[in-house]
Amino acid sequence: MTDLRHELIEKCRRYVRINKDNHPWADMDDLQLLKSVQLYQEDPETKQSEVTLAGDMLFAPDLLLLKVCPAHRTDLILRKVNVDRYDDRDLVRTNLIESYDHILAFVQKHLPDQNPNWLLRLATGRYREN
C-alpha cells in the first residue's frame, strides 16, 4: 500500500467528483477506496491483505510496475505515408492512469481537430451534449 502513488489515487478521486459531487470516494481514505473497488484483497495463499495486480497496474510507480509486470507497455505507432515504416512512435511504459494521458496526447497530436470538444468529452467520460 505504501508503494502506490497516492497522488494518482487523488487524481481519480478528482475525476469522479467532476461527474458526481457526492460520489462515495470523496469521503474515503485511500485504503477504503482501494478496498471498495477490490484493488486491495486478501491473498488466498498467504492470507495477507495486499494490493492486487490491477491496483499495481493503475497506481504503481514505474519501477514497481516493471517488477510486477515486466511485459507491460503500450506501443503507439502512426503510419501515414508508408505503411512499412512508421511516421511517429511513442512507447509508453507507465501505469494505466498516466498511460491514458500519454495516449490522449499522442492521439490529439495526430488527429485532425474537427471538433475541439471531442477530446475533452473523451477525457472526462461525458459524451452527452449539455
Amino acid of residue 43 = D
d(Cα 23, Cα 67) in Å, to the nearest integer?
33
100 phi and psi angles, rounded to 5 deg: -55, -45
Q: In the listed set 25, 42, 70, which residue is the last one of a domain according to the structure?
A: 70
Range of the domain at 10: 1-70
Only one residue has cell 512499412, namely 84
Please indicate, yes or no, whether residues 3 and 63 belong to a single structural domain of this protein. yes
pLDDT at 116 over 90: no
Please indicate, yes or no, whether residues 4 and 55 belong to a single structural domain of this protein. yes
pLDDT at 119 over 80: no
Domain count, the chain: 2
Please indicate, yes or no, whether residues 5 and 65 belong to a single structural domain of this protein. yes
Please indicate, yes or no, whether residues 102 and 89 belong to a single structural domain of this protein. yes
What band does 112 get if pLDDT is binned at 50, 70 and 90? confident
Residues 6+ apart with CB under 8 A from 48: 42
pLDDT at 122 over 80: no
Mean predicted confidence (pLDDT) in 80-109:
89
Please indicate, yes or no, whether residues 66 and 78 belong to a single structural domain of this protein. no
